[in-house]
Amino acid sequence: MKNICVVGTGYVGIITAACFADLGNKVVALDIDENKIAGLKEGNMPIYEPGLKELVDRNVLANRIRFTSSYEEGLKDAEFVFIAVGTPSGVDGEADLQYVASSARSIADHIKDGLIIINKSTVPVGTGDWVSDIIKEQNPDAGDFSVVSCPEFLREGSAIADFMAPHRIVVGSLDEDAAEKVAQLHLPLRAPIVVTDLRTAEMIKYASNAFLATKISFINEIANICEDLGADVMEVSNGMGFDSRIGPAFLNAGIGYGGSCFPKDVKALAYMAEESGRHPQLLHSVMEINSDRRVMAVEQVKSMLGNKDLTGKTIGMLGLSFKPNTDDMRDAPSITIAGLLKEAGATVKAFDPIAMEEAEKLLPDVEMIDSPYKLAESCDLLMVTTEWNEFRQLDLKRIKKAMNSPVLFDGRNIYDPKKMKELGFQYRGVGRGYNGRKQH
């Protein structure tokens, strides 16, 4: 059993704290937001994540996790402290490290000899060295401490499973003994452990996310070509995925990626490259293709309704969060799409199983409806913007009957085109050959 402090109770922090507690460690989750800490003490989770509340409650009862807003209390017995604070995008795409810097200074004020400080947040290459410098500057008598990079690879909606059964653990440090101790901390997970230097570990995270984003933009580019040539991108993805060099994951054509990681991490990597005098043209193309997906979705809606001016039309959006099983609205495609629909004159309504409370803050002009069937009432077109499993099980006959006209744009390709046609829908997916094969 180890004594661990986790700084930050956002997405990465609360998952990290709860999971390490569940592995039998003593964990203090620390956040300067006293409202968050008060909520956690009352059993209220700061995010929606399947299974998180049950995990936290179990470990609170077992006295393995507690919550505080005091660095003095959080670091009192800590052998390891994880920095898991936000690193949002700055004006030019650079990572904003103000919260990392603030955490490092506060840690320096309460540091003990031998403390291992672990950057869990996604931070630019070189941040580990920078954190070490901040601590030494803040507290010249800091004594012996080490900084380690251990980037997270958690997917929202399946973060607990990803933590407990990771594909790999990446540990980077210039201090071999500290790296070994952090590796030992993760041994119960029985995952491959990659031990390297600080900067390489930091780059592994950025390179991994950029590559996955590239796969998404690649298949969306292929979807555009399929659309014109009469091929079906779903079958193309399936055929590609059997090749072990390619794999099936992240080859789902649609309206693009969003969330807290891919958009800001690709931007940040491009920014780092440009600052080094490089020309990251592939990264820029990935971002450009992804941005175009949102415009494409609105153009498809206009085409299906036969009018570029959507005045007088009511559009219903099925899904708001950037992906299923989360309430995260950060850079969700639905935000841009709703704005473009409104600009074109449409009335926009929406339903999401989890994210409507968050969405209301960002989309005040979009009416939130409490069920997909009520959403369908009086709609001229429905569009699928998030692939929630609930939407796959809808009574589509009932949906059709409620609508002004049975028109559905499937931005996530969750429905079978043949079935939708048999039901009498005017239906269009993304990159499906039946959408309008060119005549030669």
Euclidean distance between CA atoms 29 and 14, whole angstroms:
7
Residue 280, beta-bridge partner list: none
In a 3-state reduction of DSSP, which class is residue 252? coil
Q: Is 226 a catalytic residue?
A: no
Q: Exposed (0-12), middle (13-18) or buried (19+): which is 275, by Cβ within 10 Å?
A: exposed
Q: Taking a C-beta distance cutoff of 8 angstroms, is the pair 85, 8 a contact?
A: yes
Q: Taking a C-beta distance cutoff of 8 angstroms, is the pair 172, 178 a contact?
A: no
In a 3-state reduction of DSSP, which class is residue 35? helix
Euclidean distance between CA atoms 247 and 252, whole angstroms:
12
Nearest partner of 182 among 160, 198, 203, 204, judged by Cα: 198
**Measured CA angle at 351 (ends 346, 354), to 5 deg:** 145
Q: For residue 426, give the amino acid letter.
A: Q
Euclidean distance between CA atoms 269 and 204, whole angstroms:
11
Euclidean distance between CA atoms 106 and 72, whole angstroms:
9
H-run or E-run covering 2: none
Euclidean distance between CA atoms 427 and 416, whole angstroms:
10
Select which of 5, 150, 226, 261 is catalytic. 261
Nearest partner of 17 among 78, 84, 63, 73, judged by Cα: 84
CA distances from 57 to 61, 64, 65, 123 (A): 6, 10, 9, 30
Active site residues: 261
